[in-house]
């Protein structure tokens, strides 16, 4: 049997061993890394659906016809016969230049014509009087010839004076400036009493209201993509549209109710910008479209029955190749190479590399490294950010 002192030593030793074991366990637990939660990423399931291949391009809306009005004659402006901004018809009176000097010019030209006509009449009488006297040598042949020559000169003078009268009458008519087309006229650039210089002073601008046109430019690469796909359609025996329909997206994001059609393509690519200019015509029955409005042109050029579309933000590019992060078995991320077709707004057409029903990462692509396990959150379940 142990003595009381020896029992006390054993108890103290046992407590020390227990303490050492506890501290060792705490140290081991502290050194072990805590389990990391799986990365959350937003995913969407891709599916096949009918789609229209389109190109969105910034466009410039202009009037189909637009004319800067300038006077053909000089003079003081006497009258403005319209209200700024009103609709006008072809032939409506718009401006009146002081006609006084031109009325005087017409009268002077007519007087000159009358004088030349009287002189011609006198000379012709001489010719008719001399002609019967020639067979009997009653007058010298030279006298008759001179009369005939004088008559020819007087006829030329009469023709010149007639032209002068017509020119003076035209100038008088040009003092009344008429609308060259149906449309709307802008603000006058001169006021009554101002001196107008022929061919120089801009008086106002008149433009058509319906239809309107939109000019836009496509990059050379987009043009090549369109032409290659068009050639492929023909090779497959599919009917390609000769005139692809065009839609207009207004500055507020709304779609214009009327569809347009491309009626002009520049025959050459601009060597400075590397773009090709086109024009589309849109009817404008309600006068909603105005020249200078901001817009985007959406060109439809192919219909696909089964298309796989993915958001552009889900695609990454590395060394000229394109990749999409796919969620595989066990929620493991996989970086997969894909083949892409044209862009369609904020979406991209996938031509190879994806199958319908697969889930892809659309947000958090940088966090979803290949091989790691992620927590997928369906895109429809993510809270709205409030952005359009």
Task: Write out 185-226 in H/E/C secondary structure.
Answer: ECCCCCCCCCEECCCCCEEEEEECCCCEEEEEEEEHHHHHHH
Selection from 357, 245, 351 nearest residue 299 by Cα = 245
Q: From the DSSP assignment, how many helices (H) and strands (E) are in the chain?
A: 4, 21
Residue 346, token pair as written in the block: 């904020």
Q: State what percent of residues in the chain have pLDDT above 70.
A: 86
In CATH terms, 48-62+211-381 corresponds, of 2.160.10.10, 2.40.30.170, 1.10.1060.10, 3.40.50.300, to: 2.40.30.170
Judge contact between 91 and 176, C-beta under 8 A.
no
More confident residue, 237 or 71: 71
Compute CA 236 distance to the chain's CA centroid, rounded to the nearest angstrom: 32
Other beta carbons less than 10 A from residue 42's beta carbon: 19
Which part of the chain has CATH 2.40.50.100? 68-98+176-208
Tell me the mean pLDDT in the region 26-53: 70
Averaged pLDDT for residues 357-381: 82
Indicate the pLDDT class of residue 174, thresholds 50, 70 and 90: very high
- Read off the pLDDT band of 344 (50, 70, 90): confident
Q: Long-range contacts of range 153-156, CB-CB < 8 Å, 24 or more positions apart?
A: 154/116, 154/119, 154/120, 154/123, 154/124, 155/120
- Phi first, then psi: what are they for 166, rounded to 5°? -60, -40
Residues whose CB falls within 8 Å of the CB of residue 321, separated by 6 or more in sequence, listed in order: 337
Q: What is the DSSP string of 114-125?
A: HHHHHHHHHHHH
What are the pLDDT digits (tens) for 106-137? 999 999 999 999 999 988 888 888 888 878 77
Helices (H), ranges, the chain: 4-31, 100-130, 141-173, 220-235
Q: Based on the number of CB atoms within 10 Å of its own CB, is 327 exposed (0-12), middle (13-18) or buried (19 or more)?
A: buried
Q: CATH 2.40.30.170 region(s) of the chain? A: 48-62+211-381
Tell me the sheet residues that pair with 42: 363, 377
Question: Considering Cα of 359, then 360, then 364, then 370, what sign does the dihedral take?
Answer: positive
What's the number of CA atoms in the CB half-sphere (13 Å) around residue 248? 29
The CATH architecture assigned to 99-174 reads Orthogonal Bundle (1.10)
- CA distances 93 to 4, 70, 181, Å, are 133, 14, 12
Statement: residue 147 has pLDDT above 60: yes
Structure tokens at 99: 């006609």
Task: Tally Cβ neighbours within 10 Å of residue 183.
Answer: 21
Phi, psi of 375, deg, nearest 5: -105, 105
pLDDT at residue 53 greater than cutoff 80: no
The tokens for 178 are 């008429």
Q: What is the DSSP-derived secondary structure letter of residue 239?
A: P
The CA–CA distances, whole Å, from 384 to 41, 379, 380, 381 equal 15, 10, 9, 9
Where do you find CATH 1.10.287.470 in the chain? 99-174
Count of C-beta atoms within a 10 Å radius of residue 350: 22
CA distances to 57, 101, 325, 326, 349 from 362, in Å = 25, 78, 8, 10, 15
- CATH fold of 68-98+176-208 reads OB fold (Dihydrolipoamide Acetyltransferase, E2P) (2.40.50)
pLDDT tens digits, residue range 194-241?
999 999 999 999 999 999 999 999 888 878 877 787 777 777 766 555
Q: What mean pLDDT is predicted for residues 254-261?
A: 90
């Amino acid at each position: 049997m142990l003595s009381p002192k020896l029992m006390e030593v054993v108890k103290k030793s046992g407590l020390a061993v227990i303490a050492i074991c506890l501290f060792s366990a705490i140290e081991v637990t502290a050194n072990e890394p805590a389990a990391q939660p799986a990365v959350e990423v937003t995913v969407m399931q891709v599916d096949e659906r009918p789609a229209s291949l389109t190109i969105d391009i910034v466009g410039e809306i202009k009037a189909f016809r637009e004319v800067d009005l300038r006077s053909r004659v000089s003079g003081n402006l006497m009258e403005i016969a319209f209200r700024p901004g009103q609709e006008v018809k072809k032939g409506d009176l718009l401006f009146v230049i002081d006609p006084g000097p031109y009325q005087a010019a017409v009268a002077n030209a007519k007087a000159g014509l009358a004088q030349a006509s009287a002189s011609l009449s006198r000379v012709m009488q001489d010719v008719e009087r001399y002609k019967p006297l020639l067979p009997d040598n009653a007058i010298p042949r030279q006298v008759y010839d001179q009369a005939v020559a004088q008559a020819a000169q007087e006829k030329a003078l009469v023709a010149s004076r007639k032209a002068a009268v017509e020119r003076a009458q035209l100038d008088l008519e040009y003092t009344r400036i008429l609308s060259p087309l149906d449309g709307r006229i802008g603000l006058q650039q001169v006021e009554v009493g101002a001196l107008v210089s022929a061919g120089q002073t801009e008086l106002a601008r008149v433009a058509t209201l319906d239809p309107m046109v939109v000019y836009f430019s496509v990059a050379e690469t987009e043009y090549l993509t369109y032409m290659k796909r068009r050639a492929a359609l023909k090779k497959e025996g599919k009917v390609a549209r000769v005139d692809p329909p065009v839609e207009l997206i207004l500055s507020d994001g709304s779609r214009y109710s009327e569809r347009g059609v491309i009626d002009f393509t520049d025959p050459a690519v601009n060597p400075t910008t590397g773009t090709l200019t086109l024009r589309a015509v849109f009817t404008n029955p309600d006068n909603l479209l105005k020249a200078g409005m901001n817009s985007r042109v959406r060109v439809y050029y192919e219909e696909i029955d089964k298309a796989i579309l993915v958001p552009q933000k889900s695609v990454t590019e590395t060394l000229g190749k394109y990749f999409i992060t796919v969620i595989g078995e066990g929620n493991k991320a996989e970086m997969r190479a894909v083949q892409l077709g044209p862009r369609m707004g904020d979406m991209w057409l996938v031509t190879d590399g994806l199958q319908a029903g697969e889930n892809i990462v659309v947000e958090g692509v940088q966090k979803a490294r290949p091989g790691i396990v992620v927590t997928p959150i369906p895109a429809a379940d993510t809270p709205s950010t409030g952005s359009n």
